[in-house]
Amino acid sequence: MSGWYEISKSSSGQFRFVLKAANAETILTSELYTTRSGADGGIASVQKNSPLAERYELKNTKDGHPYFNLKAGNHEVIGSSEAYSSDAARDKGIASVKANGPTTVIKDKTVVAL
């Protein structure tokens, strides 16, 4: 099984998506979007940009933990990773986003089942 996207709504009514690996671990978290269509556009951008090495910005938190941002062609951040314990762990996270990002599987957590 490959990864998937999950779309959810924040307490303020905004939309966010996460990219999950096959083991259900979150590997990329989006910014907040005011509309569902914005979140859908963000997913499409991850699907397009995630295979491209040049779209990854390697960063460090203030306390020195590595993480990364995935950027679109216009240099806007599409999503961010968690903070990792090492550069090698961050590199594995990038490889996972590259592998799982193109997936078309989307789980909509905004729909309430009756």
Q: Is 71 within 8 Å of 77 (Cβ atoms)?
A: yes
Which tens digits make up the pLDDT trace of 90-100? 999 999 999 99
Instruction: Please give the average per-residue pLDDT across 78-103, as a whole number.
Output: 97
**Residue 24: what residue type?**
A
List the CATH code of the domain at 4-109: 2.30.29.80
Instruction: Please state the domain extents for the chain.
Output: 4-109
| Lookup: tokens for 96 | 């996972």
Beta strands in 13-111 (DSSP E): 15-20, 26-30, 56-60, 66-71, 77-80, 106-108
Instruction: Please give the average per-residue pLDDT across 55-74, as a whole number.
Output: 97
Q: Is the pLDDT of residue 35 over 90?
A: yes
Instruction: Please give the average per-residue pLDDT across 26-55, as a whole number.
Output: 96
Q: Is the pLDDT of residue 114 over 90?
A: no
Q: How far is CA 88 from the centre of its chain?
A: 19
- Statement: the pTM of the whole predicted model exceeds 0.95: no
Above pLDDT 90, what percent of the chain? 92
**pLDDT-derived band at 36, boundaries 50, 70, 90:** very high
